[in-house]
Amino acid sequence: MNVTVMLPTLNEERTIALTIQEVRETMPHCKIVVVDSYSKDKTAFISRESGAEVILTGRGKGNAVREAVPQLAETDIVIMMDSDYTYPARHIPEAVSLIEHGSEVIIGYRKWKDPGAMSVVNSFGNRCLSLLAGCLYLYPVRDVCTGFWGFRADILRQLEIVSPRFTLEAELFGAVMKSHRKVRQIPIKYRARPNGSRTKLRVSDGYEIAMFLIGDSMRRWRSSQWHNV
């Protein structure tokens, strides 16, 4: 099967080369696509110099993925991974293997964290959001905000993505639950960011994700009620 590793980026010049190199060493024959939201730094240039294909898209992670997916027509499996070097590429082969053997969606939950990789506030917020998502969708998701996903490509193309920014992962989870896909959660490591690299998430983003989960689940419930009339 053809495998594409998709790396959404925004101003990741400090980490993108490391990420691409590690992916290439782990999966020598995969296609690496950097989906860049018109970074103001040298992210796109470094990505091309590192041997990756670069797709320039609209601003925001959700916009980037939505615009890039239709351009991945010749691949069978898509691994979507954050490009800040926090997600080790060594987990990619396991995700690929599980999809090859029947799983449709892989969610990598951050079981092992390096010291300082995630603040106490972010860790607590992520647990709360995952618990909320699990209650709303009746599925025990361990890490709804993870930046490591695997998809059978035809499944990913069918998911309707409208989120422009950081609600992308929440929307992916909701869409997967609504379409009743075969999901497998795998434990992964989460590394601390290299020096000079900063997270773009804010506390307000957590509130936005929570509101999205609630609104999306309510729309799903109303739709199911309508179809049952």
**Tell me: the pLDDT tens digits for 82-92?**
999 999 999 99
What is the Cα Rg of the chain in Å?
17
The third-level CATH classification (topology) of the domain covering 3-223 is Spore Coat Polysaccharide Biosynthesis Protein SpsA; Chain A (3.90.550)
Residue 107 bridge partners (DSSP): 149, 185
Q: What is the pLDDT of residue 224?
A: 58
| pLDDT tens per residue across span 130-167 | 999 999 999 999 999 999 999 999 999 988 878 777 78
Comparing C-alpha atoms, which of 73, 65, 36 is closest to residue 52?
36
Sorted by sequence, the CB contacts under 8 Å of residue 179 that are 6+ apart come out as 155, 158, 159
Pairing of strands 105-113, 148-152: antiparallel
Structure tokens at 208: 């936005």
| pTM listed for this prediction | 0.91
- 52-61, 87-96, 199-208: least confident range: 199-208
CA 151 to chain centre: 10
| pLDDT tens per residue across span 14-34 | 999 999 999 999 999 999 999
The mean predicted confidence, pLDDT, of the chain is 90
Sorted by sequence, the CB contacts under 8 Å of residue 121 that are 6+ apart come out as 203
Q: Where are the domains of the chain?
A: 3-223
Sorted by sequence, the CB contacts under 8 Å of residue 128 that are 6+ apart come out as 206, 210
Max mean pLDDT among 23-27, 36-40, 192-196, 216-220 falls in 23-27
